[in-house]
Structure 1
Amino acid sequence: MSGISRRSLFGLGAAGVAAAGAGAVAARVLADEPPAARPVSSSSASDAVPFYGRHQAGITTPAQDRLHFVAFDVTTTERAELVDLLQEWTAAAARMTQGRDAGAFGAVGGAPEAPPDDTGEALGLPASGLTLTVGFGPSLFDERFGLAGRRPPALADLPAFAGDGLLPEISGGDICVQACAHDPQVAVHAIRNLARIGFGRVTVRYSQLGFGRTSSTSRTQATPRNLMGFKDGTNNLKLEDTAMLRDHLWAAPGDGPAWMDGGAYLVTRKIRMHIETWDRAPLAEQEAIFGRDKGEGAPLTGKAEFDEPDFAKTGLGGEPVIPRDAHVRLAHPTSHGGARLLRRGYNYVDGSDGLGRLDAGLFFMAYQRDPRRQFVPVQQALAATDPLNEYIKHVSSGLFACPPGVVDASDHWGRALFA
């Protein structure tokens, strides 16, 4: 790989009426909703992902095409108000993921003198595979709500990584919600309505739209490409990997507090790509950086994408065919005691800067059993020596404990945490 720095050459070139509560109220509302709130599209039921279950949907669920991720700061100081909000959010999420309106009376069925129970932009649209996944950030476990003693050890603050350029205003957050769907309007509608319901109790800290998933979470899906043109997440954990999911994804009894049993930990990183610089790098250099063929996604020692990399194979002059600092080598499970991640990243383009360069890259999301043993060592290795760092910059970071799933209509997000 060329030792010339190509960056040095080309671097210049909301308020509203809250939704119905959870528990018995949620069960009654779901069973006996007014006609105006019933879904318009007859196809929504077949397009819906079940909301209730042992684990939250949106983790191992086959990755949808679109993302709207949001981090909230909690503004209320009353524990009871926060619990009420989580109940209301859960009831709304259970409805929206099934293609229904956020509230019992919907966008057009309530009193004309009051704001609607739903903002209305998803009227007539099917569920579009919508999933809503919630997580709690380290900052929630302070003195405000009496949760300090319930913070899981695995929710330890991430260390600083070499080369980070993190912006505090788009990092962290007390609570996150990940909305994934096949229709961007459905995902945006879901987040918009949760923010509306939360008015006066939470504020949006930051949000991110994503498109073109960059990882496959099921073997039924083809591996997608990132904005650098390479297949991404080939060695990602998959829905079908039952034993590995048990070992590497789901928090187990004894890992930490019982309220996290069956949950997972989410790390988010917004990674801006220096697209214009990358586009001027020779193909051979690009492939050496990744350690993979750009066309097939095969390791440089193989012919097909899922061929196992042969890190011992040497070429001319006895040098490894896959360079010692190649991305695939540094991130490979064999370099980290077998640690694996379940990735659900998305491409993003947030317009362009004042010099006409795309503000674009990867919104990285990875779920795991313990970030201290999985994401952190992998990222430390990448931050130290990955030549890809010449073309990227990490500008946002988040860490969240995502509890187990909501079992039924009497349950709600965070119930065991606040019990």
Structure 2
Amino acid sequence: MGTPVKPSRRQLFGYAGAAAAGAAVTGAATVALDKQPPPASRLISPYGDRQPGVAASSPRHGELVAFNLKPGTDKAALGRLMRLWSANVVALGNGQPAPGDTAPELATANTALTTTVGFGARVFELAGNKPAAPDDLPVMRHDRLQDEWSGGDLLILVGADDELSVVHAVRRFVADAKPFAVPAWRQTGFWNSTGPDGKPVTGRNLFGQVDGTGNPAVGTPEFDATVWAADGSTTLVVRRIKLNLDTWDERTRSEQERAIGRKLSTGAPLTGTAEHDELDLEARDAEGRPVIAANAHARLSHHSENDGRRIFRKGLNYVHDSGTTRESGLIFLSYQADIAGQFLPLLARLDAADALNEWTTTIGSAVFAIPPGFQPGGWLGQKVLG
């Protein structure tokens, strides 16, 4: 090794001056930061008469796990599991380690973490079928359902801003369920509900489509009538929809927009200029054709074409890699007070004529009752299993 080169006196003074200048800038920045308002809390209270994850925005990261109950798991055992899970919901939702957490450092606050718990038909059988469980959906003509994405006795849906928080939370729920139930399927996905300016936006699926524009606004009477039963429960339909992006990309932009009935750029209807403009289903083009085609998704799913029926739809985009092959799609989540009265007629109408059927295939389907929320001292499913 050569002899180390010592800095000259001039260099030393230069370094010192730069350090002092840096310290001055840092100090000024610190003072400026001290004057800023504290960041808004991203904590969503786990308590409430209704499970809070239902009305929350689609999470940036989400995971769904369906479970099948083990033989011998009875009503009392299931009640014990719900007490364990309820404790996890509270602790993890508050950014604290779950009881018995083996990795407590992974519990992080202010990630907007929510956990939604659902019951399949088996739970209601164990509870004496009171109240009644929602029925499974009939298989649609375009469905190609796979067992690995369908059914289930229990569901947890964990969402958060931070993927690590989701993975950690799911790990805790699965561990606590081990004596009572085993995972039947797991699905992970992502969504972006924030625009470049930091303000909430509707979000887009992998077709590039603004997805969920027609939803009733959270907190309105219309939302409450669409989603909630009188006791604070609701129902959830989970549909795993594979998207054929290769053939979709072969179509022109105008063909894609005609299939949807909305502009890809803004989500506005083809008869409007802004996302939330009302659809003009009577408008005709110069050749006399409906501007929003008879088989356009926006027309067929619109409440005015479905005797006023509405759902509250959310989604998570997904990609599933197998070697060099990638499957892309949408985990479609539909909340409604009554599956048979609201969702099924809409599903049948879309299955029969939706233009998007050319590029979409449903490969997974499951239905769950979402029990009411709980208050301190209570637990999830207490009205069903207590």
Q: Normalized against structure 2, the TM-score is what?
A: 0.85
Q: Answer whether contact 1:215 1:344 (CA < 8 A) is retained.
A: no
Pairwise mapping of residues 247-266 of structure 1 onto structure 2 (< 5 A)? 247-252=225-230, 261-266=231-236
Deviations 1:368-417 (A, max 9, x none): 11111211111111111112111110000111110111122x21111110
The aligned residue for residue 81 of structure 1 is 77
The aligned residue for residue 118 of structure 1 is 101
The aligned residue for residue 161 of structure 2 is 182
Q: Per the alignment, in what secondary structure is the counterpart of residue 309 of structure 1?
A: coil
Q: Answer whether contact 2:210 2:267 (CA < 8 A) is retained.
A: yes
Determine which of 192, 211, 233 is the counterpart of 1:232.
211
Matching of residue 320 in structure 1 with residue 290 in structure 2: yes
State the Cα distance separating 1:46 from its structure 2 match: 3.0
Deviations 1:347-372 (A, max 9, x none): 001115x6x55311100001111111
Q: Answer whether contact 1:238 1:342 (CA < 8 A) is retained.
A: no
For residues 401 and 215 of structure 1, the distance between their equivalents in structure 2, rounded to whole angstroms, comes to 29
Deviations 1:178-222 (A, max 9, x none): 101000111111111011011121100111111125799xxx621
Q: Per the alignment, in what secondary structure is the counterpart of residue 341 of structure 2?
A: coil
Matching of residue 148 in structure 1 with residue 143 in structure 2: no
For residues 181 and 388 of structure 1, the distance between their equivalents in structure 2, rounded to whole angstroms, comes to 30
Report how many residues are paired: 345
State the Cα distance separating 1:124 from its structure 2 match: 6.3
Pairwise mapping of residues 42-57 of structure 1 onto structure 2 (< 5 A)? 46-57=41-52
Q: Answer whether contact 1:86 1:414 (CA < 8 A) is retained.
A: yes
Determine which of 347, 366, 371 is the counterpart of 2:339.
371
Matching of residue 269 in structure 1 with residue 269 in structure 2: no
The aligned residue for residue 5 of structure 1 is none
Distance 1:224 1:347, change over 3 A: same
Q: Answer whether contact 1:165 1:395 (CA < 8 A) is retained.
A: yes
State the Cα distance separating 1:225 from its structure 2 match: 0.9
- AA matched with 1:304: A
The aligned residue for residue 151 of structure 2 is 172
Q: Per the alignment, in what secondary structure is the counterpart of residue 68 of structure 2?
A: strand
- Gaps in structure 2 of 5+ consecutive residues: 1-37
Q: Answer whether contact 1:214 1:346 (CA < 8 A) is retained.
A: no
State the Cα distance separating 1:44 from its structure 2 match: 11
The aligned residue for residue 63 of structure 2 is 68
Aligned-residue RMSD, C-alpha: 2.0
State the Cα distance separating 1:141 from its structure 2 match: 2.9
- AA matched with 1:244: E
Deviations 1:63-86 (A, max 9, x none): 321101111111143322111111
- AA matched with 2:49: R
Q: Answer whether contact 2:58 2:193 (CA < 8 A) is retained.
A: no
Matching of residue 296 in structure 1 with residue 269 in structure 2: no
State the Cα distance separating 1:147 from its structure 2 match: 2.4
- AA matched with 1:413: L
Q: Answer whether contact 1:172 1:399 (CA < 8 A) is retained.
A: yes
Matching of residue 395 in structure 1 with residue 363 in structure 2: yes
Q: Per the alignment, in what secondary structure is the counterpart of residue 134 of structure 1?
A: strand
- AA matched with 1:193: R
Larger CA Rg, structure 1 vs 2: 2
Determine which of 201, 208, 215 is the counterpart of 2:187.
208
Q: Answer whether contact 1:276 1:357 (CA < 8 A) is retained.
A: no
Q: Normalized against structure 1, the TM-score is what?
A: 0.78
State the Cα distance separating 1:317 from its structure 2 match: 2.5
For residues 179 and 74 of structure 2, the distance between their equivalents in structure 1, rounded to whole angstroms, comes to 12
Question: Identity of aligned pairs, percent?
Answer: 36
State the Cα distance separating 1:149 from its structure 2 match: 4.3
Deviations 1:298-330 (A, max 9, x none): 111111111111111111331101110000000
Matching of residue 418 in structure 1 with residue 385 in structure 2: yes
The aligned residue for residue 12 of structure 2 is none
- Runs of 4+, deviation exceeding 6 Å: none
The aligned residue for residue 128 of structure 1 is 111
